[in-house]
Chain A
Amino acid sequence: MGANKADAFVDITDVKCPVTFVKAKVAIEELEDGQLLEIRMNDGEPVQNVPRSLKDEGHKVLNVDNNGDGTYAVLVEKGGLE
């Protein structure tokens, strides 16, 4: 996690596209602008697509950490690009 402290966490490794992004979107909609969400996602299609989709919706991807177990921890700031 580094220095950033997430306000919420969601694990989207238990669902497949497009529910991966949907689940992340549901989690981020519950936050206020400027709050941080940590998302645990699988390597491959999710890590390639979900951060990009979040950027398209105006959220800022602050950090992507490889957890070393086939998953990534992605830290996103709600509305950080708006």
Chain B
Amino acid sequence: MKYSNEQLERYSRHIILKNVGVKGQEKLLGAKVLIVGTGGLGAPAAMYLAAAGIGTIGLVDFDRVELSNLQRQIIHSTKDIGKPKAISGQETIHAINPDVTVITYQEWINSQNITDIIEDRNYDFIIDGTDNFPAKFLINDACVLTGKPFSHAGIIRFEGQTMTYVPGKGPCYRCVFKDPPPPEAVPSCKQAGVLGVMGGIIGTVQATEALKYVLGIGQLLNGYLLTFDALEMNFRKVKLSQNRNCRICGDNPTIRELIDYEQQVCELKQH
């Protein structure tokens, strides 16, 4: 590939890195990353991946931008209120880096469409930036069944966590968390609150994992759960093992089809 002087300048801090170089930047420009949710986690992840020159970014979000999103969802601006988040995200990405192709999916993910979305562009890596357990299990199961690596993350209040799934190399999300908790037992982000920066910290870790996966460098968070406590300013990396009895990736998997778990009523009523 021939770089223009502008491209050399745009990606110069990458190309200078021994572990990236020209070939690494070409891998990034040729890579396809799907980001599910353009909220607290997905917003910074999408922006950094766009800036890094990930060539194709898929954005999945059915929501429209609300004023209450802007405290943390930095891909959206005040002028975007009322606009579909996927479109608002696409516009911000193009403003950051016109080299990036953005594919928008204005849909709620469910058992019927998630596989089609993942396979639409044969995405290399998936980022779970959703805010509810049904979506997290759905993404996990879909990635296990389609053999795709993905980054899980969750944030609430002053805490966050993230782990990476790589097919055949360590546990999946369900190995560790088994099943969604009952809907009434879980406070959603809307009910519990979240410090705005949490998505920036954890979403940027997710973007880092995507970049490292594409580049084939370093150690990913497969087999580990990274937890972050902002009040104590503590990161902890907890080793996880694969669960041979896991219902989706274990020795005798019993889940062969995707499941639509019940979602909290308050999560649905606004849409």
Contacts and interface: CB of A to CB of B under 8 A. Distances in A.
Interface of A: 14-15, 18-19, 21-23, 25-26, 29, 57
B16 A21 contact: yes
A14 B16 CA distance: 18
B5 A25 contact: no
Nearest to A25: B15
Contact of B3 (A14, A26, A57): A26
A26 B4 CA distance: 11
Given A19-B12, A22-B12, 15 more contacts: A14-B5, A15-B5, A15-B8, A18-B12, A19-B8, A19-B9, A21-B16, A22-B15, A22-B16, A25-B15, A25-B22, A26-B3, A26-B8, A26-B15, A57-B18
A29 to B, nearest CB: 5
A33 B21 CA distance: 16
A25 B22 CA distance: 8
A59 to B, nearest CB: 12
A63 B207 CA distance: 42
10 contacts: A19-B5, A22-B9, A22-B12, A22-B16, A23-B5, A23-B8, A25-B21, A26-B15, A29-B21, A57-B18
User: Which 5 pairs of residues, A with B, have the shortest CB-CB distance?
Assistant: A22-B12, A29-B22, A22-B15, A19-B9, A22-B8
Contacts of B8: 15, 19, 22-23, 26
Interface of B: 3, 5, 8-9, 11-13, 15-16, 18, 21-23
A15 B16 CA distance: 15
A49 B15 CA distance: 16
Contacts of A29: 21-23
Interface SS of chain A: helix, strand, loop or mixed? helix
A23 B4 CA distance: 10
Nearest to B18: A57
A25 B16 contact: yes
A8 to B, nearest CB: 14
Given A18-B12, A18-B13, A26 B22 contact: yes
Which has the most chain A C-beta neighbours within 10 Å: B12, B18, B23?
A: B12
Contacts of A22: 8-9, 11-12, 15-16
A18 B16 contact: yes
Which has the most chain B C-beta neighbours within 10 Å: A15, A19, A23?
A: A19
Nearest to B15: A22
Nearest to B6: A19
B59 to A, nearest CB: 30
A25 B23 CA distance: 11
Contacts of B13: 18
Nearest to B21: A29
Contacts of A19: 5, 8-9, 12
